[in-house]
Structure 1
């Protein structure tokens, strides 16, 4: 039996019909009916509701099947195209901190994929860049894995750090990058330290790449108007830092059961209203 989004009867007919159409391709919204209604009811006009519908229609939602396909593609790229084996390569999450992040999850999930393609073992897949850089040997390869790349600034900095550390240790090592998803704008960054950067999904900006001239100005103004209803500062987070998504990335991306990146529009994940009330975010973020 097919499930449908439970929509409030108070929604305008145009919005109601638009959401029903979207739900056919964006099936993840079905389980978030209450949160979706709360988001749309917070809009001040039908135009704002239809505007959000357009953005939701362009969302890149990674469900379990899509994730499995992406991991299989990365495994094939690593093993076949790049010629990586357990004897000449270390796979590592793009992580240097003590806290769990999505790159660690990808490093963990790619283990069985690589196991099917060769005799890979756990001791060839690392969760921390520092350990991998110290362990990699002369002439070997490092494959850095991650879930999502937004602006590419962090990745660029990490690649430069890896290259510098390897040079300090007087080793010659090839560096590769494999990610589930990435924003096209990150291509503007300097990734020259890597031999190749492969993402299974490339995404456009939700406003800049779909609206133009006056329409783009109006779309940005409308989103900023909705953001103005959010609490300017919550705990240690300032809304101004994440306006239109971190570094204005304008992302619309979510991995099922994951922690959505702050590159997404805060209207989808910010926790508090300006009035002090707690929101019911469409995609809650820690």
Structure 2
């Protein structure tokens, strides 16, 4: 394994920890510059220890992992729930002209369901309005996506769907199926969906992995680290994303995709306090 020349002086024990981390998580090898840059923002050993632990818990998905997840979603919908192509629509939560991950995921699900057979292009819809118009009166709607963070967005879409379906006098079943989701999102989504499935359920990076004094110390360390970031970056306020959007504390990275803002901003925020642009470990747009 080749490691890039270090941009900062790193103590030997810290370097050894990062080297072991890269061995255990090979995707970090090509991120060595960003990794060492991130560690250089830590002023105390407990901050370094926290960052290393969180990075080790990042749920990294390769394109093949995502394919396997789509197949799991497909198997769950068709075999466990028994949904059939004649009265089921897979839909994205998109309701505007901007591209989003759910629209892409609807398209990607075509390949997985093509392997089952019987499903057609007409089963896949990339807008909520079209889904309401096209679904049969007693059919099934399935919101699909690659990731669900707090569950707030999907909750709002389910509420909207329920209202519009009533206006159209349709009694449809509503489901949610995603590749990965934060466990705490269940309280938002489950009451509104007949079934909520994730191929992988994710825990919060700090709150679900520490307790007692360790939780207090880890929380304080992360707050301190966030103080090294610029208060505003790319039109966003750091205070809105502290510990991730809606305090999600997500640790999720799908290779080649735009990471969610539910991740700790420490891993994706683009500017340091003072305006210096940084090299984020998992950059996002």
* TM-score of the superposed pair, with normalisation by structure 1: 0.94
Which residue pairs with 1:269 in the alignment? 268
Contact in 2 for aligned 1:94/1:129 (Cα 8 Å): yes
Contact in 2 for aligned 1:15/1:46 (Cα 8 Å): no
Which residue pairs with 2:145 in the alignment? 146
Equivalent runs, 1:232-247 vs 2, <5 Å = 232-247=231-246
What whole-Å deviation, never above 9, does each CA across 1:94-144 have from its counterpart, x for those lacking one?
221211111112111110110110221222101111111111011111111
> Number of matched residues?
284
Equivalent runs, 1:19-34 vs 2, <5 Å = 19-34=18-33
Contact in 2 for aligned 1:7/1:16 (Cα 8 Å): no
Equivalent runs, 1:112-131 vs 2, <5 Å = 112-131=111-130
Contact in 2 for aligned 1:85/1:118 (Cα 8 Å): no
Q: Which moved more, 1:11-20 or 1:51-60?
A: 11-20
What whole-Å deviation, never above 9, does each CA across 1:148-184 have from its counterpart, x for those lacking one?
1111111111111111111111111111111011111
Unaligned runs of 5+ in 2: none
SS at match of 2:90: strand
What whole-Å deviation, never above 9, does each CA across 1:179-213 have from its counterpart, x for those lacking one?
01111111222532311110001111111111112
Which residue pairs with 2:193 in the alignment? 194
CA displacement at 1:5 relative to structure 2: 4.4
Which residue pairs with 1:162 in the alignment? 161
Q: Which moved more, 1:21-30 or 1:265-274?
A: 21-30
Q: Which moved more, 1:240-249 or 1:229-238?
A: 229-238
SS at match of 2:86: coil
Q: Could you say if the C-alpha distance between residues 197 and 190 of structure 1 is closer, same or farther in structure 2, counting changes exceeding 3 Å?
A: closer
What whole-Å deviation, never above 9, does each CA across 1:35-75 have from its counterpart, x for those lacking one?
11111122223332222101001111111221111011011
Q: Could you say if the C-alpha distance between residues 56 and 7 of structure 1 is closer, same or farther in structure 2, counting changes exceeding 3 Å?
A: farther
Which residue pairs with 1:248 in the alignment? 247
Cα separation, 2, equivalents of 1:79 and 1:230: 46
1:174 equivalent to 2:176? Answer: no
Cα separation, 1, equivalents of 2:241 and 2:141: 32
SS at match of 2:180: strand
Cα separation, 1, equivalents of 2:24 and 2:67: 19
Cα separation, 2, equivalents of 1:25 and 1:156: 37
1:81 equivalent to 2:74? Answer: no
Which residue pairs with 1:38 in the alignment? 37
Which residue pairs with 1:52 in the alignment? 51
SS at match of 1:189: helix
Cα separation, 2, equivalents of 1:43 and 1:18: 14
Cα separation, 1, equivalents of 2:67 and 2:23: 21
Cα separation, 2, equivalents of 1:210 and 1:4: 32
Question: C-alpha root-mean-square deviation of aligned residues, in Å?
Answer: 1.6
